[in-house]
Amino acid sequence: MSRKPIIAGNWKMNKTAAEAREFIDAVKNSIPSNELVDTVVGSPALFLEGMKKGVKDTELQVAAQNCYWEDFGAFTGETSPAALEALGVDYVIIGHSERRDYFHETDEEINKKAHAIFKHNMTPILCCGESLETYEAGKTAEWIEGQITADLKGLSAEQVSNLVIAYEPIWAIGTGKSADANIADEICGVVRATVEKLYGKEVAEAVRIQYGGSVKPENVAEYMAKENVDGALVGGASLQADSFLALLDFVK
């Protein structure tokens, strides 16, 4: 089965509204057809309304970087998945290692978010990944299997077929130290094997798996050439318009 590639930028807590607008104006007419690749920008929640207006009638899609699992209520400072749906947001990144580490998010919470995002007709980009300690102890595969099993709990086969999972080794994020393409392929393969164990072969063949961690225009094609890597989740190299566009050159 051929899976459509998906390249997603993750701006993290960067840019002002004016800078977000400038970026969209600079890239929007140069994005390849979404018959070839899904191209997504993950923006701070503050700019999502403007971003959705800015990408109207273009091939760009928009992701939030987080949301809560309840629709509305007394949850000061949280972002409602119902409100994201109303804006027309396409994807929501969940379980990023920065959320897990700095904000102590648990697999149980990430699982609730995944259910809420599907309920609101958006697609989760679910991140998983191991620490340097786990990697060096040779325990990456069991760690990843544990995260994925907990994060997908109760999701249907149809939901998981449509899901995007990002494998991001924590030791490769923002460090300039990317996991080489063979490691990325191997661990994305572990993610796929875990999905197969839980949901069967057809779902495992359908789910799209990204690699993330110091992906740049210079190395993206190497990752994309690998069997189990269907895309990239990109932080630093997604911030500048020219670099973001260059990440998409592999489809040409």
Q: Which residue numbers are catalytic?
A: 96, 168
Q: Which is nearer to ligand PGA, 88 or 217 (CB)?
A: 217
Measured from the CB of residue 82, what is the shortest distance to ligand PGA in angstroms?
A: 26
Q: Which is nearer to ligand PGA, 71 or 101 (CB)?
A: 101
Measure Cα distances from 10 to 94, 137, 140, 234 in Å.
11, 29, 24, 6
The two tokens of residue 248 are 């998409």
Residues 6+ apart with CB under 8 A from 149: 194, 198
Measured from the CB of residue 197, what is the shortest distance to ligand PGA in angstroms?
A: 26
Beta pairing, strands 231-234 & 6-10: parallel
Measured from the CB of residue 71, what is the shortest distance to ligand PGA in angstroms?
A: 27
**How many C-beta atoms lie closer than 10 Å to residue 86's C-beta?**
11
Residue showing the smallest CB distance to ligand PGA in the complex: 235
Beta pairing, strands 38-43 & 164-167: unpaired
Beta pairing, strands 60-64 & 123-128: unpaired
**Which spans of this chain sit near ligand PGA (rule: CB under 6 A)?**
10, 168, 173-174, 212-215, 233-237
User: What span, in angstroms and rounded, lies between the C-alpha atoms of 23 and 242?
Assistant: 9
Residues 6+ apart with CB under 8 A from 186: 228
Measure Cα distances from 110 to 37, 106, 126, 149 in Å.
27, 6, 8, 12
In the DSSP assignment, the letter for residue 58 is S
Q: Which is nearer to ligand PGA, 80 or 97 (CB)?
A: 97
User: What span, in angstroms and rounded, lies between the C-alpha atoms of 38 and 139?
Assistant: 32
